[in-house]
């Protein structure tokens, strides 16, 4: 099955109970509010329906996953191949005996934290500080305020490109800082978290404190996608002659990035490891801005900032690729 056939001819797509959308707009759906269209968007009814789709879809053709678009720049030329849009069946949160919380990949991290708090399950409040969904958090070992997914995850379920359902342990994921080894090849559908007993009032207070910290330090009311770059490791910072507590924001600040704009994209004054769409940004503006920060940091400190925001899709006509100047 060719990529062209997949993106233009519905007769080549597997029969499912859900639906397909062609040339589906992405701009209004992602948190940056930018980007082109998805050639084909598949909306499966549930996990079994997604398995049916994967079993009948070319295992090497382009495939993208769309949760809520919280940490992704969808490029202006759109997404090739097929984009999977998870729906209601993946947005579940269930409390189980023994301090367990089972949730679907589309469940918002904030909602998982809140429901765990209501049930008196501690250890998950940090999720309230992570924008996006459980699926995205599983993929990148998301973290905030001193904790990461790896600290509370018991197991997860995922589909491979053939549609086979896998149950994986934390060890299977080989998690490291903002990374999982098999994450790029799997479609996450469910997570099982393990917490500990705690007073609901204390947990609600903890979540409220995290919310206040975010409001005070991050541009959460803007069109943004969370942290732009991962923090360099202590070893990388030491090799550059810097203190090990220097985060990506401080490196960007040190090269004059705070407040810098390209088109409608800006590294905001409030927190310069975020990018915001001030209202007129294209996806290309955002990516150009990020690459400009990477270039400046590399030239001054010899450090290569790693994107935490994903960039997906094609560049529009006349837009040159940006991500090969440093790597």
Token duo for residue 146: 């001193």
What is the structure's pLDDT at 324? Answer: 56
pLDDT score at 321: 75
Task: State the pLDDT confidence band at 1, using cuts at 50, 70 and 90.
Answer: very low
Report the percentage of the chain scoring pLDDT > 70. 94
Give the β-pairing of 187-194 and 100-104: antiparallel
Cα–Cα distance for residue pair 2/39, rounded to 1 Å: 13
What whole-number distance in Å separates Cα of residue 38 and Cα of residue 85?
A: 10
Check whether residue 96 and residue 155 sit in a common domain. Answer: yes
Look up the domain containing 168 and give its range: 91-214
Q: DSSP for 257-308?
A: -TT-EETTEE--SS-TTS-EE-SS--HHHHHHHHHHHHHHHHHHH---PEES
What contacts 71, CB < 8 A, 6 or more positions away?
Answer: 31, 131, 132, 136, 140, 225, 226, 308, 309, 310
As a whole number, mean pLDDT of residues 76-81 equals: 96
Boundary-marking domain end, from 161, 180, 214: 214
Q: Please, are residues 73 and 287 in contact by the beta-carbon 8 Å criterion? A: yes
pLDDT tens sequence across 260-281: 999 999 999 999 999 999 999 9
Of 148, 190, 291, 308, the active-site residue reads: 308
> Quick check: is 317 in a domain?
no
Query: Token match 């992602």: residue?
Result: 30
Residue 319 placed within a domain: no
Q: Is-catalytic flag, 178? A: yes
Boundary-marking domain end, from 166, 193, 214: 214
CATH number of the domain within which 176 lies: 3.30.465.10
Same domain, 140 and 171: yes
> Does one domain contain both 224 and 306?
yes
**Pick the catalytic residue: 178, 214, 294, 296?**
178
**3-class secondary structure, 242:** coil
Strands 223-224 and 143-144: unpaired
Residue ranges in 119-247 assigned as alpha helix (H) = 134-140, 170-173, 200-217, 234-239
Same domain for 242 and 197? no
Instruction: Find out whether 303 and 250 touch, Cβ atoms under 8 Å.
Output: no
Q: How confident is the model at residue 9 (pLDDT cuts 50, 70, 90)?
A: low
Least confident of 105-109, 120-124, 173-177, 264-268: 173-177
Q: 45: domain CATH number?
A: 3.30.43.10
Q: Is residue 323 part of a domain?
A: no
Residues 106 and 207 grouped into a single domain: yes
Residue 167 counted as domain residue: yes
pLDDT band with cut points at 50, 70 and 90 for residue 59: confident
Question: What are residue 223's DSSP bridge partners?
Answer: 277
Round to whole Å and give the CA distance between 275 and 222: 9
Does one domain contain both 30 and 83?
yes
Separation CA 255–CA 222 (nearest Å): 23
Residue 227 above 60 pLDDT? yes
pLDDT value, residue 19: 96
Mark whether 64 and 177 lie in a shared domain: no
Choose the final residue of a domain: 38, 69, 88: 88
How many folded domains does the chain comprise?
A: 3
Band (88; pLDDT cuts 50, 70, 90): very high
| Mean pLDDT rounded to a whole number for the chain | 93
Instruction: Tell me which of 70, 190, 227, 236 is the catalytic residue.
Output: 227
Examine the domain organization and report whether 253 and 202 are in the same domain. no
Question: Residue holding tokens 């006349």?
Answer: 318
For residues 199 and 125, membership in a common domain is answered with: yes
CATH of residue 228: 3.90.78.10
Is residue 79 in a domain?
yes
Residue 253 confidence (pLDDT) above 60: yes
DSSP state of 227: -
DSSP at 207:
H
pLDDT attached to residue 185: 81
Per-residue pLDDT tens digits for 14-47 = 999 999 999 999 988 899 999 999 999 999 999 9
Buried b (16+ CB within 10 A) or exposed e, 168-185: bebeebebeebebeebee
Are 114 and 189 contained in the same domain? yes
242 contact partners, CB below 8 Å, separation of at least 6: 301
Distance CA 178, CA 82 (A): 26
Nearest Cα to 231, choosing from 255, 252, 253, 247? Answer: 247
In a domain, 225, yes or no: yes
Q: For position 4, what pLDDT does the model report?
A: 40
pLDDT category at 326 given cuts 50, 70, 90 is low
pLDDT at 3 over 50: no
Q: For residue 327, is it within any domain? A: no
pLDDT confidence of residue 141:
95
Residue 72 lies in a domain: yes
Q: H/E element holding 155?
A: strand 153-159
Residue indicated by tokens 């969904």: 133
Span between the terminal Cα atoms of the chain, in Å: 32
Q: Return d(Cα 320, Cα 317) in angstroms, integer.
A: 8
Question: 308: which 2 tokens?
Answer: 């935490």
Are residues 57 and 162 part of one domain?
Answer: no
Strand 223-224 and strand 276-277: the pairing is antiparallel
Residues 303 and 244 occupy one common structural domain: yes
């Amino acid at each position: 099955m060719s990529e062209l056939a997949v993106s233009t001819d519905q007769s080549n797509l597997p029969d499912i109970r859900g639906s397909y959308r062609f040339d589906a707009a992405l701009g209004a759906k992602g948190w940056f509010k930018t980007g082109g269209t998805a050639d084909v968007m598949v909306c499966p009814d549930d996990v079994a329906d997604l398995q049916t789709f994967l079993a009948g879809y070319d295992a090497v053709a382009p495939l993208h996953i769309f949760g809520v678009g919280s940490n992704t720049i969808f490029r202006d030329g759109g997404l090739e191949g097929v984009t999977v849009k998870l729906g209601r069946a993946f947005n579940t949160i269930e409390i189980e005996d023994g301090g367990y919380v089972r949730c679907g990949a589309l469940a918002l991290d904030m909602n998982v934290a809140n429901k765990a708090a209501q049930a008196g399950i501690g250890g998950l409040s940090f999720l309230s500080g992570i924008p996006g969904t459980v699926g995205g958090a599983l993929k990148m070992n998301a973290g905030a305020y001193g904790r990461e997914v790896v600290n509370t995850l018991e197991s997860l379920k995922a589909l491979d490109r053939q549609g086979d359902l896998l149950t994986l342990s934390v060890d299977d994921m080989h998690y490291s800082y903002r990374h999982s080894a098999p994450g790029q090849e799997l479609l996450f559908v469910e997570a099982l978290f393990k917490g500990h007993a705690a007073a609901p009032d204390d947990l609600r207070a903890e979540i409220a404190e995290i919310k206040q910290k975010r409001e005070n330090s991050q541009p959460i009311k803007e069109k943004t996608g969370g942290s732009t770059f991962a923090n360099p490791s202590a070893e990388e910072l030491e090799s550059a002659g810097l203190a090990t507590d220097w985060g990506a924001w401080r490196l960007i600040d040190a090269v004059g990035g705070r407040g810098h704009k390209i088109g409608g994209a800006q590294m905001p004054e409030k927190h310069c490891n975020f990018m915001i769409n001030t209202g007129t940004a294209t996806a290309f503006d955002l990516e150009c801005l990020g690459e400009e920060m990477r270039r400046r940091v590399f030239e001054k400190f010899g450090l290569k900032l790693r994107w935490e925001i994903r960039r997906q899709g094609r560049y529009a006509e006349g837009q040159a690729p940006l991500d090969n100047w440093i790597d």
